[in-house]
Every structure is written in structure tokens, then in C-alpha cells.
Amino acid sequence: MLITCTDLLKTYSCEGRMLKAVDSANLTVSKGEFVTILGHSGSGKTTLLSLIGGLTRPDSGTVYIDGIENWQQSDSDLAVMRNRKIGFIFQFASLIPTLTVIENILLPLSFSKSPEGDRGYAMDLLDRVGLADRANNLPGQLSGGQQRRVAIARSFINRPEIILADEPTGDLDEATEDDILALFKEFNQNGVTFLVVTHNRDLAASQQSPRVFNMVQGVLA
């Protein structure tokens, strides 16, 4: 198994009450799978993704990525795992506003090799998301949907094994959404594992053999 989550629990304090954002979640994902988690806003999908990606520490339970428990690792090992194994696509604008589009895409390479060596690949990814002509623009000069596409291109730059995506097609028009889903499909067929949380039921249908889960009030079913 590439991802194994066991009895994951994450609570937040809200107005003196403890809310269970993720409640006893169990999930296993094999290499090359395309997993979709459907749920309404506030159902705990994003928190679950953060727990799996090692961005948030769970109150209890474990997350294993490729056989290694996330929170048994040192801060630096966890960072290396995030950098090498996982590509993140978040629903908020996650670009550095003062870097150009191409610099944003090359940013994850800072620790492995010279980013300039992969500039060609970065341009190729940018072309795949339809923004080759915007390489030297700043994020502020792009629309929300275009910024999302840049973030998608960036998530693939390190050739990760896993893509964790949170509402990846949220701001996209229909045509662009189709292009992005086609891109996901291609990478998935090449062995990349996808774990996508969304409320878009069509997204799962666009992939070859997705596994679909539902999440309601922190409970995964």
C-alpha cells in the first residue's frame, strides 16, 4: 500500500466545543490508484488531505506513506517526503506572489537539483495547462483559474508518486477542466497515485477506474 490511514482523528476547538473534523478515518490507497473523496463544504475533506500530506498532526491514529509513518519522521525527513513524494494542489491560491509563473513552478526543485536543469520540463507542464505564454507573468497578473493551473503544473514538477488535490477544478471553466482532467488521467496511467477531494461528482467519472468515497461530518464511508 502506498497510503495507509488508520483510525485518524482530528479535532478543533470552536467556541468551547470540540469539533471532530476527521473522525476515525481508515483509508488505504495502492500505487497508481485514483481515489476521489466526495463531500460537502466543511465535511473534513481538506483536513484529511492535510493529515495525509503531513501538514497537520492528527490527535490520534497513523498515516503511513510508502511504509513510513508520517509523524515518526523528523521535521526534515517529513519535509523531504513532502518535497519528493507528494505534489500538492490546494483550493486556495498557493503561489508566491512575488515570483513569476515559471519561478513558482521551479520552486520545489530548490532542494534536489539546479532548477534551471528542469526549465524545459516546467515549460512543457505550463504548455499542458495552457499557460506557456504566461511564464514570465506574476501571479497577480493571472485570473484565479489560471493561478490554479499554475499550481497544478507545479505539483507535477518533482515527478511525485502521489498527487493530493483539493478541489483542483474549482475555478476552471468547462474546457479547461476537461484539459486538466485529461492531464490527470495521463499521469495516472503513467503510475502516479491521485487522492482528490471534491464536491464535483463528474471528476471521478472522468477517470478510468476511480475509487470513490464519501465524507460526511468527518466520517469517511
Partner 1 sequence: MNTGLEKQRNILDYGLMSLWRRKTKNLSVLLVFALVIFLMSSFQFLTGALTDVAQQSLRLAPEITVQKMVAGRQEQIPISYGDKLQEIFGIRRVEPRVWGYHFSTTTGGNITMLGVSSFDPRLETALLHGRLPSGSSAGEVVLGQGVVRDLDLKGRRKFSFFRPELTQKTFTVTGEFKPESELLTADLMVMSIADSRDFFHISETYATDLLVTVANPAEIETIARKIAELLPDTRVVTRPQILKTYNAVFGWRSGFGSVCLLTGLAAFIILAWDKASGMTPEEKREIGILKLLGWQTSDVLAVRFYESFAVSFLALLLGCTLGYVHIAFFDGALFRPVMFGWSVITPHLHLVPVVRFGDVLLVICFTVLPYLAVTIIPAWRAASVPPDSAMR
Q: Does 115 interact with partner 1 (rule: CB under 8 A)? A: yes
The whole-angstrom separation of Cα 167 and Cα 31 is: 21
Q: Which is nearer to partner 1, 47 or 169 (CB)?
A: 47
Q: Which stretch binds partner 1 (CB under 8 A): 26-34, 91-99, 170-178, 206-214?
A: 91-99
Cross-strand pairs, 219: 216
Chain residues 140-199 in contact with partner 1, contact rule CB under 8 A: 154
Q: Which stretch binds partner 1 (CB under 8 A): 19-27, 72-80, 126-134, 172-180?
A: 72-80
- Taking the complex as a whole, how short is the minimal distance between the CB of residue 46 and partner 1, in angstroms? 8
Q: Which stretch binds partner 1 (CB under 8 A): 31-39, 101-109, 124-132, 174-182?
A: 101-109
Q: Does 71 interact with partner 1 (rule: CB under 8 A)? A: no
Among 13, 76, 190, 208, binds partner 1 (CB under 8 A): 76
Q: Does 96 interact with partner 1 (rule: CB under 8 A)? A: yes
Q: Which is nearer to partner 1, 74 or 190 (CB)?
A: 74
Secondary structure in 3-state letters for the chain: CCEEEEEEEEEEEECCEEEEEEEEEEEEECCCCEEEEEECCCCCHHHHHHHHCCCCCCCEEEEEECCEEHHHCCHHHHHHHHHHCEEEECCCCCCCCCCCHHHHHHHHHHHCCCHHHHHHHHHHHHHHCCCHHHCCCCHHHCCHHHHHHHHHHHHHCCCCCEEEEECCCCCCCHHHHHHHHHHHHHHHHCCCEEEEEECCHHHHHCCCCCEEEEEECCEEC
Q: Which stretch binds partner 1 (CB under 8 A): 22-30, 63-71, 85-93, 197-205?
A: 85-93
Residue with cell 478515518: 25
Among 26, 114, 141, 217, binds partner 1 (CB under 8 A): 114
Residues that bind partner 1 (CB under 8 A): 50, 55-57, 75-76, 79-80, 82-84, 88, 90, 92, 94-99, 103, 107-108, 110-115, 154
